[in-house]
Structures are given as structure tokens and as C-alpha cells.
């Protein structure tokens, strides 16, 4: 007799998240690259995602950004938000994630990864919580524990951070403390 199993409810898995890992293009940004007059690439990011990342760091959660892109402007933006761990120009994302986890004593079950496209597949299949934006490619949507109802670059990062912090009791309660510093 074959026993049927179901995926563990992703909300239960959020209790154990200690490390958020985000791709850039299609997750933190909307995936559209603009070129200025000098040919410099520019990306569009949502300020709600930025605020959520800052709140996560303030709550003691860690963030790692891994991108195949090489934009110094993206790296500067992440550092401005307080994100110390930014890996740019990475094509073998799982190797970088695994190395980071070993060096910083994170277990893969502690990781929530959000990616939107094929280069994120290996990471998503090896972490505790695999997530993606609403507009991720089919192959990624099929393996995700959670598909945000929000597209990449439009607040999907905020969605998964806020859900995680609420489950962990770390989301700011402005009714109790209206002077939280942002």
C-alpha cells in the first residue's frame, strides 16, 4: 500500500527560518533592466521590500543576496539597507549558498530562498523553505513551497519576510510601540 504524503505547510517551516536568501533580477527587482544614456544598467526595486529587509536585520535575522549580475549599484543599495552579505557575478548559486552556510553555521533547513528562474532551481530544491514571486517561471513555481501572490520587484520580498516575522513574533507591533526606528 502506497502512503500518500503532503508537503509540510510552509507556515510551519517559517518558524525555523534564520537566513533569507534572495536573487536580484526578478525578485528584488522586477527583472526589467533599464539603460541610461551612458549604457549603465538600472533596476527597479520596491521600497516596501527594502523596509522589510531592514526590519528583518534589526530582528536578528540574516540576509544573503546572490546574483549572476555584476551591478555595483545593486551592491551599494543592499549595503545601504544594511545587508552585509551580497554576492554578485555568481553563476553557481548553490555552491555559494552552501559555502556561506558552512562558514556562518547555518543549516539548509534554516534557509528561506526566493528565486524566480532556472538558475535558482538547485538552491530552491535544497533549502528549508523554497519560495518564488507570482511571476516566476513554471519550473520554479512547480517546486516552490510558497508562491507569493505578488510579482518580483513589486513587494514579494516583503511578503515572505513579513509572513516569517509574524510567525516568529518578530514583526513590529506599532500599537504597542509606535516609536520603532526604521
- List, in order of start, the domains of the chain with CATH numbers: 10-167 (3.40.50.1000)
Q: Which of the two residues, 156 and 3, has the higher pLDDT score?
A: 156
3-state secondary structure of 95: helix
Q: What is the pLDDT of residues 2-41, one digit of tens each?
A: 344 445 688 999 999 999 999 999 999 988 887 888 877 7
Longest dimension (CA), the chain: 65
Q: Which of the two residues, 136 and 71, has the higher pLDDT score?
A: 136
Q: Report the distance separating Cα 72 and Cα 10, nearest Å.
A: 34
Name the pLDDT band for 177 (thresholds 50, 70, 90).
low
| pLDDT at residue number 8 | 60
| pLDDT at residue number 181 | 60
| pLDDT at residue number 40 | 79
| CB 17, CB 164: distance < 8 Å | yes
Report the pLDDT averaged over residues 48-75: 95
Tell me what percent of the residues of the chain surpass a pLDDT of 90. Answer: 76
| Burial degree of 51 (CB within 10 A; 0-12, 13-18, 19+) | middle
Q: What is the pLDDT of residues 91-128, one digit of tens each?
A: 999 999 999 999 999 999 999 999 999 999 999 999 99
| CB 109, CB 16: distance < 8 Å | yes
Amino acid at each position: 500500500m502506497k502512503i500518500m504524503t503532503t508537503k509540510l505547510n510552509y507556515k510551519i517551516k517559517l518558524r525555523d527560518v534564520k537566513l533569507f536568501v534572495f536573487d536580484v533580477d526578478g525578485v528584488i527587482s522586477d527583472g526589467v533592466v533599464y539603460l541610461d544614456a551612458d549604457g549603465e544598467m538600472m533596476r527597479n526595486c520596491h521600497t516596501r521590500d527594502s523596509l522589510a529587509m531592514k526590519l528583518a536585520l534589526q530582528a536578528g535575522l540574516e540576509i544573503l543576496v546572490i546574483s549572476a549580475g555584476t551591478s555595483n549599484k545593486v551592491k551599494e543599495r543592499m549595503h545601504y539597507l544594511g545587508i552585509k552579505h551580497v554576492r554578485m557575478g555568481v553563476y553557481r548559486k548553490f555552491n555559494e549558498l552552501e559555502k556561506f552556510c558552512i562558514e556562518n553555521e547555518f543549516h539548509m533547513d534554516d534557509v528561506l530562498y526566493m528565486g524566480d528562474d532556472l538558475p535558482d532551481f538547485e538552491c530552491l530544491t535544497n533549502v528549508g523553505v523554497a519560495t518564488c514571486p507570482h511571476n516566476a517561471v513554471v519550473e520554479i513555481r512547480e517546486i516552490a513551497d510558497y508562491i507569493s501572490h505578488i510579482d518580483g520587484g513589486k513587494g514579494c520580498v516583503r511578503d515572505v519576510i513579513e509572513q516569517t516575522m509574524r510567525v516568529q513574533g518578530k514583526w513590529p507591533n506599532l500599537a504597542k510601540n509606535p516609536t520603532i526606528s526604521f
